[in-house]
Amino acid sequence: MNCQEENIVAGADIGGSHITVALVNLKDKFLVKESTIRKDINSKGSESQILDGWLSAVKEAIAWHDGRVNKLSFAMPGPFDYKRGISLIKGLDKFESIYGCNIKQYFADVLDMKPENILFRNDAEAFLHGEVFCGAARNLDKVIGLTLGTGFGSAISQNGITTDLNLGSEPFLKSIADEYFTTRWFIKRFKELTGRDVCGVKEISGCIEETKTCSIIFNEFSTNLASFLTPYLSEKQVFDIVLGGNISKAHHLFLANLKRYIKDNNLLVDIKLAELSEDAALIGAAASFDILVNSKVY
């Protein structure tokens, strides 16, 4: 690579069963595809199994640049102490063994990096900031990002500054939003209507013999999502949304209805699909370093 080392950051996205790491060129705003490393991780494993697995992926990605990378940033699910780099995940059936572990210090020690050169940010926040940095939201002054998948992630970006919203914890109907806008809701609802077990949204959307049921479920989903979002969008005066996550891949089954239901509430909201896919969180995590240097609108 001919890029200056200072412009290259290793971005890492921590999932419940995997880690993805890639190098990001902040100056020219692109992810170096050839450097992408993805490894399966047993989130129920021991502390050493989890950390060693993460370290292996990070080292492989950095090696692509001959090891000359001195900045690392993680997109990490919560709860997490993002400033200090300490995991607070407990009672979620994943990463129990690293509760209280200072992950920042661990990587600083094993990679011989300065602790201040290792950053962490919320995964939903990282997703949206990636899209703001060089994706679907790059020309928007104020935008909400929603990740629809195993969890309901949410973040807001204004003038290039992106922060987590944690809307998934907000009350909705008989529970909280996270219970209605995630994969497990689709699985549960399909079971209620058909008596059949499925693995996820992709299976439901491709179920030819249950076309009517599929339509009912996605209409219910879009109605609920519009009902939940409308008061917030109105209050905060946000008129742009970027959708990501695996559920958004079935957008042809719910996006038109979602737009119509929001419009019926007298809100003109532009809903865009994410452009960067799984790269968004990697880029958004890496761009944390760009924020420290440049206070600018992207």
User: What are the pLDDT digits (tens) for 192-214?
Assistant: 999 999 999 999 988 766 789 99
| Chain segment 80-89, per-residue pLDDT in tens | 999 999 999 9
pLDDT(244) > 80: yes
- Please name every residue paired with 243 in a beta bridge, in sequence order, or none if there are none: 146, 273
pLDDT attached to residue 160: 87
User: What confidence tier does 2 reach under pLDDT thresholds 50, 70, 90?
Assistant: very low
For residue 228, what are the contacts with CB-CB under 8 A and spacing of at least 6? 167, 170, 172, 177, 180, 181
Q: Is the pLDDT of residue 259 over 70?
A: yes
Neighbours of 211 (CB within 10 A): 9
Per-residue pLDDT tens over the stretch 96-127: 999 999 999 999 999 999 999 999 999 999 99
The yes-or-no verdict on residue 296 having pLDDT over 70 is: no
User: What is the band of 294 on the pLDDT scale with cuts at 50, 70, 90?
Assistant: low
DSSP annotation string for 239-296: -EEEEESGGGGGGGGTHHHHHHHHHHTT---EEEE-SSTTHHHHHHHHTHHHHHH---
Number of continuous H segments (helices) and E segments (strands) in the chain? 9, 14
Dist CA 124 CA 148 (whole Å): 10
What pLDDT, on the 0 to 100 scale, is given for residue 93?
A: 83
- pLDDT greater at residue 3 or residue 282: 282
Residues 92-96, mean pLDDT to the nearest whole number: 89
State pLDDT tens for residues 62-71. 999 887 899 9
Reference 202, options 149, 267, 140; nearest CA is: 149
What pLDDT score was predicted for residue 92?
Answer: 84
Q: Are strands 18-25 and 8-14 parallel, antiparallel or unpaired?
A: antiparallel
Determine the average pLDDT of the residues in 230-255.
94
Cα separations in angstroms, 2 against 26, 60, 193: 13, 19, 57
- Nearest alpha carbon to residue 177 among 168, 185, 186: 168
Whose tokens are 């799984």? That residue is 278
- Over the chain, what is the mean pLDDT? 92
What domains are defined for the chain?
Answer: 5-126+279-293 (3.30.420.40), 140-273 (3.30.420.40)
